[in-house]
Amino acid sequence: MGAHLAVLATLALAILFSPETLVLGLVVASDKKVPREASLAFAIGAIVGIAFATGVGVLIAYLTGTPAVPRHDSWPGFIVRILIAVALLVIGIHRAIGAIRHKPIADVSEPDHQPSKLRARIMQRFPALARRLNPQTDLPVRQRISRATLAGFAVCGLHPKVFPIAIAAGHQLLQISDRSERSLGILVFAAIAVVPALAPAVIEMFSPGASGRIKDGYERIMKVHGRWIIAVLLVAAAAFVGHNALEHMPRS
């Protein structure tokens, strides 16, 4: 139990230190018309996104076998564990490379922001949706709130640097067979992972208008230090998951 709880906390910390979530949340909280409502909508969307991605991991674990369900030592279960370990390792290495190169954190509010290739393709295919999701686009209040909600869901539930981590956490939850201990694991993971989702709303409530200033300082710190922290956390989690996969590799 202790090892599984430590891995869950490690994965949650990796989400906590993922700069994309908080940076985007602070951008959303800087909305000119409804900053408080937008930040709350972002928080709701982000929490739903984390729950969605974690739920995918739980479903995968249930279908392939864990200590909590039959077919624990199965080839599908082994393959899934290896894939999760590799995904965590790849993201960790990518974070480390970003720290070494001092690569800027993606900030959609910057005029020179270059979207990823995947996002660029989506924007080309769905220009109307891309326009609505662009934080620079002036929208009515209701659409601003829906944009913030979708942004929160996308960055926590679909982002390629966050989605696999939440999946790994969901898979890890079903490694705990005792229900009360699993509930504790859920609480630990949730309490840590939702912090960057809630932080912009909390900031906007207690210090209106401070989101922009905080974002700049946060980006300077996290551009290097945050990425190294995430890299170490993910490599450690990948090592545990990989070791666990080898332990439960089918012998016949």
| Residue 31 maps to a domain | yes
**What distance in Å separates the CA atoms of residue 181 and residue 187, rounded to the nearest whole number?**
10
Give the structural domain span for 145: 2-109+116-247
Domains in the chain: how many in total? 1
Q: Identity (one letter) of the amino acid at 48?
A: V
Surface-to-core class of residue 127, CB atoms within 10 Å of its CB (0-12 exposed, 13-18 middle, 19+ buried): exposed
The answer to whether residue 127 is domain-embedded is yes
Q: Which pLDDT tens digit goes with each residue over 73-130?
A: 677 888 999 999 999 999 999 999 988 887 777 655 555 556 656 566 766 776 766 6
In angstroms, rounded to a whole number, what is the distance separating the alpha carbons of residues 51 and 42? 14
The model's pLDDT over 162-171, given as tens digits with 9 standing for 90+, comes to 999 999 999 9
Within a domain: 252 = no
Q: With cut-offs at 50, 70 and 90, classify the pLDDT of residue 246.
A: confident
Per-residue pLDDT at 13? 95
Global pTM value = 0.85
